[in-house]
Amino acid sequence: MANGVFHTVYGIEIDLTLPDLGDPDRPGLLEEITTPIERRERELLECLDHRSGSCRAEEHGRSPWMTIRRRTAGGRTGWVAAHLPVRHTPTPEESAKHEAMKERIARVAERHGLRAEVEARATDGRVRTDVLVTGDHGRRIGWEAQYAPISADTVRRRSRAAAEQGIVPLWVTDTDRSPVIGRAPWARVDGFGWKEIASPLAMMVRAGVRHLQQWKCLPSSERTCPDNGGSCGRFHAGWFLPALCLPAEPPTEVDRLVVASADGEFVPMRIPGRRDPRAVSRMWVPAADRDRWHDMFGPTGDENPPPGPVAGGACTRRGPDASCRYGEETLTFDDHRPRRGNPAGTGLRTFDEVPARLFRVPPQGRGLDVTAAQRGTAALAHGCEPWQIGPCARCGSPIHRYGGRGVHACAACRARVARR
């Protein structure tokens, strides 16, 4: 990343460390160069080192064209220029797998009586979905089969646009390095070729689906304490991969997720970190587990929240640095967040007592409301003596008793009589 960039239309060098960008005669320049890339010319801003013929980014498959982003370091926020990726044309294999996955999702949905639209577009034309699956209750799942490279910003932007249309996005990838992971509802599958995807072969969801696990941390527990590796005597709860549940949960197949997500059996969850709310984990979970989690810890908020303000406050002036720093230890444009989450347990919580609201008191029924004649008929049909609820002959408490057998006393009164 650099603090200098060349404006190809005006033919000027821009110093991002200066309040006026080094050109006081253009007050709207900052707004112009920070316009999202999809709304301006891609080749508007150029790397200064590229103009001198020594740009290192191009040696690593990046383009010489730049975008402007904020970067926070040492508590200060400043504008920096970052290289845009080279526009990627999907390979024939990527295109074939993409088409096969779309066809499979649509085929499964229609086989189970769901509505499926391939390459569905919103009424305003802003949102296009690979496969839009609609359940019986109007729940809409926007499946995106993502086999070609994509930027993290594109994932967030398209997911927000889908959510604004009432569509729950569901991104499918076959690599654990995809930017879709953790940035939107997602699922990772095996790296099958297009023939396996198109076949009836079962496709398992290897990551992105989790189940709730709860346990008391005792020496006899099958799980060790997530805090100290031993046992702490407290309660723990967290989200685990199916194979790591106790007992193990069966893995979820892609075909089942197509139906279960549209029916509401599986729902997307967004779990903010306890220490850093920005460290968000996203996953698909059984709706019953989601409800149980909400009972214990309360709702976790909207699964697709709007983007928050950029942390760090106003931009501060920093020393100019126009050199290309591609490849150095710094933030990257496409994937600036570290990998978060634990492959075993995610969103682990510890508490001392089970919340009182989780206790379920069984309703106290009135018992059988039958007449003496009905009791006699039932006793005759089952070959037993008629019975009824009656008072204890000594203390008056209600007891079960058989008719016609002398004095009827409760167990406590009989015990007292026996002790005498």
pLDDT band at 328 (very low <50, low <70, confident <90, very high): very low
Residues, the chain, total?
420
d(CA 52, CA 350): 57
pLDDT at residue 322, rounded to an integer:
47
Least reliable range by pLDDT among 128-142, 203-217, 221-235, 397-411: 397-411
Over residues 339-348, the pLDDT tens digits come to 444 555 677 8
Q: From the CB of residue 204, how many other CB atoms can be counted at a distance below 10 Å?
A: 15
d(CA 412, CA 364): 22
CA atoms within 13 A on the CB side of 313: 6
pLDDT at residue 39, rounded to an integer:
81
pLDDT at residue 259, rounded to an integer:
96
d(CA 210, CA 198): 26
Sign for the pseudo-dihedral over CA of 328, 315, 161, 112? positive
pLDDT at residue 190, rounded to an integer:
93
Mean pLDDT of 68-76: 81
Residue pair 152/335 in contact (Cβ under 8 Å)? The answer is yes
Amino acid identity at 159:
S
How much is the CA Rg of the chain, to the nearest whole Å?
Answer: 32
d(CA 93, CA 402): 79
pLDDT at residue 122, rounded to an integer:
76
Residues forming a β-bridge with 144: 171
Long-range CB contacts for residues 297-305, cutoff 8 Å, separation at least 24: 297/237, 297/349, 300/269, 300/270, 300/271, 300/272, 301/270, 301/272, 302/270, 303/168, 303/185, 303/267, 303/268, 303/269, 303/270, 304/159, 304/160, 304/163, 304/168, 304/169, 304/184, 304/270, 305/270
pLDDT at residue 155, rounded to an integer:
85
Mean pLDDT of 272-290: 83
pLDDT at residue 266, rounded to an integer:
97
d(CA 349, CA 226): 9
pLDDT band at 298 (very low <50, low <70, confident <90, very high): confident
For residue 229, pLDDT beyond 60: yes
Mean pLDDT of 93-98: 91
d(CA 35, CA 397): 80
Q: From the CB of residue 384, how many other CB atoms can be counted at a distance below 10 Å?
A: 10
Residue with the two structure tokens 């960008």: 21
For residue 397, pLDDT beyond 80: no
Averaged confidence pLDDT in the chain: 79
Residue pair 391/399 in contact (Cβ under 8 Å)? The answer is yes
